[in-house]
């Protein structure tokens, strides 16, 4: 996750931590120190303010290609395990790969309610000037679109394992808002880099998947 997040452009400790749910502050600090010792990550002071910037070295870029290969293998051969159905991870990944040319030219606030994953979770997505921000608390702005989604369906849509049409037809994803926004929302999606890989049909007929 750390290598992926660095490749996606996360440079601060906070950005890396936000994109790695389940990874503690202490463990992330330890991993970054280890990656720095191995010459995979370069750490430099911020130009302004306190803190550091974390960047992949040439070795780190090469390691990312290894991660991609492992991801492709997993997308083809492994089932999505229940612990990997965190909708925040899918939402975070989606926001780091949105198609800016398809985003509206005005501010849009989207409320997302996820069900079926541990507990009910609610987030707000702010879209403005081709930039996005995920809020865990109500941002105090008028909401333009309401999305209610089964967490598994949302994650599998992002991964390319479930079509938007099928999720809507089965009422696993529901949208309420202006028709133009309802139609536009799924077209913004920066799908997973592995969304083009079709799972092998033998998945589920083999022993428990490796997580």
Q: Tell me: the pLDDT tens digits for 60-110?
A: 999 999 998 988 888 788 777 676 788 888 888 888 778 888 888 899 999
- Is 201 part of a structural domain of the chain? no
Q: Are residues 23 and 72 in the same domain?
A: yes
CATH code, domain carrying 14: 1.10.10.10
Q: Assign 121 to helix, strand or coil.
A: strand
Percent of the chain with pLDDT over 70: 91
**How much is the average pLDDT of 46-67?**
92
- Is 30 part of a structural domain of the chain? yes
Number of domains in the chain: 2
* DSSP output for 42-65: EEEE-SSSSSEEEEE-HHHHHHHH
Contact (CB, 8 A) for 5 and 23: no
- Is 57 part of a structural domain of the chain? yes
What is the rounded end-to-end Cα distance, in angstroms, of the chain? 14
Percent of the chain with pLDDT over 90: 49
* pLDDT at residue 208 in the model: 41
Query: How many other CB atoms are there within 10 angstroms of residue 139's CB atom?
Result: 14
CATH code, domain carrying 151: 3.30.1050.10
Q: Tell me: the pLDDT tens digits for 147-168?
A: 999 999 999 898 888 899 999 9
Q: How many residues belong to the chain?
A: 211
Q: Are residues 69 and 112 in the same domain?
A: no
Q: Estimate the crossing angle of helix 151-158 against helix 87-95, to 10 degrees.
A: 40
| Cα–Cα–Cα angle for 75, 118, 90, rounded to 5 degrees | 40
Q: Whole-model pTM?
A: 0.72
- Is 98 part of a structural domain of the chain? yes
- Is 193 part of a structural domain of the chain? no
Q: Are residues 140 and 54 in the same domain?
A: no
* pLDDT at residue 32 in the model: 96
Q: Are residues 96 and 183 in the same domain?
A: yes
Range of the domain at 39: 2-77
Q: Are residues 133 and 183 in the same domain?
A: yes
* pLDDT at residue 94 in the model: 84
- Is 211 part of a structural domain of the chain? no
Q: How buried is 81 (Cβ within 10 angstroms: 0-12 exposed, 13-18 middle, 19+ buried)?
A: exposed
């Amino acid at each position: 996750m750390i290598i992926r997040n660095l490749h996606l452009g996360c440079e601060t400790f906070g950005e890396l931590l936000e994109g790695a749910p389940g990874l503690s502050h202490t463990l992330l600090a330890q991993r970054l120190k280890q990656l720095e010792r191995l010459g995979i990550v370069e750490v430099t002071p911020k130009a302004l303010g306190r803190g550091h910037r974390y960047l992949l070295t040439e070795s780190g870029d090469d390691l990312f290609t290894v991660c991609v290969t492992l991801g492709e293998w997993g997308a083809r051969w492994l089932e999505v395990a229940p612990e990997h159905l965190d909708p925040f991870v899918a939402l975070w990944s989606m926001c780091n790969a949105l198609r800016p040319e398809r985003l509206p030219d005005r501010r849009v606030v989207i409320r997302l309610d996820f069900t079926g994953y541990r507990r009910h979770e609610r987030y707000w997505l702010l879209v403005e000037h081709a930039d996005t921000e995920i809020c865990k608390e109500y941002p105090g702005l008028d909401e333009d679109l309401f999305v209610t989604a089964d967490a598994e369906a949302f994650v599998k849509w992002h991964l390319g394992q479930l079509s938007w049409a099928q999720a809507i037809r089965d009422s696993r994803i529901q949208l309420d808002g202006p028709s133009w926004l309802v139609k536009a929302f799924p077209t913004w999606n920066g799908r997973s880099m592995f969304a083009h890989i079709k799972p092998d049909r033998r998945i589920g007929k083999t022993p428990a998947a490796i997580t």
